[in-house]
Homo-oligomer: A and B are copies of this chain.
Amino acid sequence: MRYPPDYKANARARLLETASALAKEKGFGTTGVDALMAAAGMTSGAFYSHFKSKPELLKAIIEHELAHTTALFTGKDTAALRKAFRSYLSEQHVAHPESGCPLPALTPEVARADAATREVFEQQLVQAKDQLQAQLSDDGHAWAVIAQVVGAVMLARAMASPEARKALLQDVRQSVDALLVTQE
């Protein structure tokens, strides 16, 4: 055998990483298999050794990327949570979708995807929400906080001017800070 036994798993992991970054930056549906593979230093023919179709890749991207997001809310006290949200609502995050959360970049494409992909999405997102809810009081509205920060990053990215982006982010940062403070 010309390839070591763990070669395929490693190659798939690298492929998933570069494909996720490109999909978050340019969009999943509008980016061809050719471009997704080129980003990993391969050609399109090799794609189907790792995924049976392009929709299958979207499911894998969501599974892989949302695990990172869930980790953001895991095992953190209120102070650490506030810091995590500051980072989420930063201009850095808005400026770099390729290395950021998949939710502001890919959610509408997930909404139009097959049931299997949406189930993976839901499972991971509910888990993140439960992790956050555990740190809030009963009327803490964890879903509202999540919707707020995801919506904010997405809307900020579509703005034309840095000033408008800053104003939006600043307002939502204050809102989230207040929500985290009053729960103690």
Chain A residues at the B interface, C-beta cutoff of 8 Å: 26-27, 29-30, 97, 103-112, 115, 118-119, 121-122, 125-126, 139, 141-144, 146-152, 154-155, 157-161, 164, 167-168, 171-172, 174-176
Contacts and interface: CB of A to CB of B under 8 A. Distances in A.
Contacts of A111: 97, 154, 157-158
Contacts of A154: 107-108, 111, 150-151, 154
Copies in the complex: 2
B159 A147 contact: no
Contact of A105 (B27, B108, B115, B151): B108
A27 B109 contact: yes
A115 to B, nearest CB: 6
Contacts of A174: 139, 141, 144
Contacts of A147: 147-149, 151-152, 155, 168, 172
Most buried by B among A26, A27, A148, A164: A148
A30 B27 CA distance: 10
A155 B146 contact: yes
A148 B155 contact: no
A164 B104 contact: no
A96 to B, nearest CB: 12
Contacts of A175: 141, 143-144
Contacts of A144: 148, 152, 171-172, 174-176
14 contacts: A27-B108, A103-B155, A107-B158, A118-B158, A119-B160, A122-B158, A141-B174, A142-B171, A143-B167, A143-B171, A144-B148, A147-B148, A147-B152, A151-B152
Contact of A118 (B115, B142, B148, B159): B159
